[in-house]
Amino acid sequence: MKLNFRNKENGIKNIKIAKITILFITIVLFVIVGVAVINNKVSTNEKVVQATDNNSEQSEDKPSLHNEETEDSINKESNSSVENVAYLEKYIKQQIKGQKPDGADGKKVAYLTFDDGPSETVTPQILDVLKSEKVNATFFVIGKYVDRSDTNKNLAKREIAEGNTIGIHSYSHDYNYLFPNGKISLENCMSDFDKTDKALKNVFGPDFSTRAIRFPGGLETWSKKDPQGAENVDKALHEKGWYQIDWNSLSGDAESGHKNAAQLTQEAIKTIGKKEKVLILMHDTYGKEETAKALPGIIQYLKQQGYEFKAIK
């Protein structure tokens, strides 16, 4: 009986030891896990802080882009079948000033642009040529012409459907209203651009948007007459995420004196010169039938010179 009692007593001691051991192991594991979690949080926080610091350094070192666009986003879009309008605005401005454009990369790109449409006579011919040549262009439309008829609305729809892009070229195209006394009216210009934007939304739906703006006469022309006005309107455009696009080549179809298709083609070739990025001004409004006739020859010349074609967006 005494032996059994001792065995029982030893068993109880063993159980107590086992429980203490298990508790000790549990505490040790808990401490280990807790330390690991804390270390992980510290590491994560350090990474977050580092990323924030890096972003701050980048924002200090790199010039900010309008509408919070990054160089990567601009270059990504510019490498596709459309050109980023923010990139092209800066490129053309620098080129006009005689500076080497930041985006010069040795690639020859042509941007065909047509102002003052849509028209029921010339725009369909231009679209037929573009489709036949398998190239795209950008149409800077006048809002009042978009609103004029269902035919013109359908032409705008066809422009987009066939891979082209649309920009704004004012609503009225009225120089007396937009540029009274030879000065830029910020209020009237922005109102006209907004009105055209609404006209396009009425055609394509509320989600449609375009960022490309072209001043009647070109903003560079007006900046020489009214530098402060040009600076003010440029700032107002950027605040809305809009970018003004001039040109560095033209066919001369809006200049005084009638030119036939051959003359327009030669003028375009002369102004194209050896430019790496060439942005050609043409028109698809009423009376510009010779432009439609000249377009195939201009496109063929550009193809022979190794240019690829992009629309502006």
> Is 72 among the domain residues?
no
Same domain membership, residue 103 and residue 56: no
Tell me, what's the pLDDT at 256?
A: 80
Q: What is the CATH number of the domain that holds 144?
A: 3.20.20.370
> Is 74 among the domain residues?
no
Same domain membership, residue 86 and residue 48: no
Same domain membership, residue 86 and residue 4: no
Write down the pTM of the prediction: 0.77
pLDDT in tens, 130-149: 999 999 999 999 999 999 99
Same domain membership, residue 56 and residue 91: no
3-state secondary structure of 114: strand
pLDDT in tens, 222-262: 988 999 999 999 999 999 999 999 999 999 999 888 899 99
Q: How confident is the model at residue 10 (pLDDT cuts 50, 70, 90)?
A: low
Same domain membership, residue 156 and residue 228: yes
Same domain membership, residue 135 and residue 28: no
> Is 209 among the domain residues?
yes
Average pLDDT over residues 1-18: 50
Domain of residue 38: give its range.
Answer: 1-62
> Is 305 among the domain residues?
yes
Output 72 or 309, whichever has higher pLDDT: 309
Same domain membership, residue 104 and residue 195: yes
> Is 37 among the domain residues?
yes
**264 has pLDDT over 80:** yes
Closest by Cα among 263, 246, 160, 241 to 204: 160
Q: How confident is the model at residue 215 (pLDDT cuts 50, 70, 90)?
A: very high
| Dihedral angle sign, alpha carbons of residues 253, 254, 255, 256 | positive
Cα separation of 245 and 95, whole Å?
12
Same domain membership, residue 105 and residue 17: no
Residue 281's CB: how many other CB atoms inside 10 A? 24
Q: What mean pLDDT value characterizes the chain?
A: 83
Same domain membership, residue 117 and residue 31: no
**176 has pLDDT over 60:** yes
Please name the residues in contact with 204: beta carbons below 8 A apart, sequence gap of 6 or more: 156, 157, 160
> Is 71 among the domain residues?
no
Same domain membership, residue 191 and residue 135: yes
> Is 278 among the domain residues?
yes
Average pLDDT over residues 17-24: 60
Average pLDDT over residues 152-173: 98
**187 has pLDDT over 80:** yes
Domain boundary among 28, 62, 96: 62
Same domain membership, residue 96 and residue 157: yes
Same domain membership, residue 111 and residue 40: no
Number of domains in the chain: 2
pLDDT in tens, 37-86: 444 443 434 333 323 333 333 333 333 344 445 555 444 455 588 999 99
> Is 222 among the domain residues?
yes
Tell me, what's the pLDDT at 37?
A: 43
Average pLDDT over residues 170-179: 97
Tell me, what's the pLDDT at 167?
A: 98
Tell me, what's the pLDDT at 122?
A: 98
Average pLDDT over residues 150-166: 98
CB 226 within 8 A of CB 255: no
Please name the residues in contact with 275: beta carbons below 8 A apart, sequence gap of 6 or more: 95, 248, 249
Cα separation of 82 and 72, whole Å?
15
Tell me, what's the pLDDT at 103?
A: 83
Output 14 or 214, whichever has higher pLDDT: 214
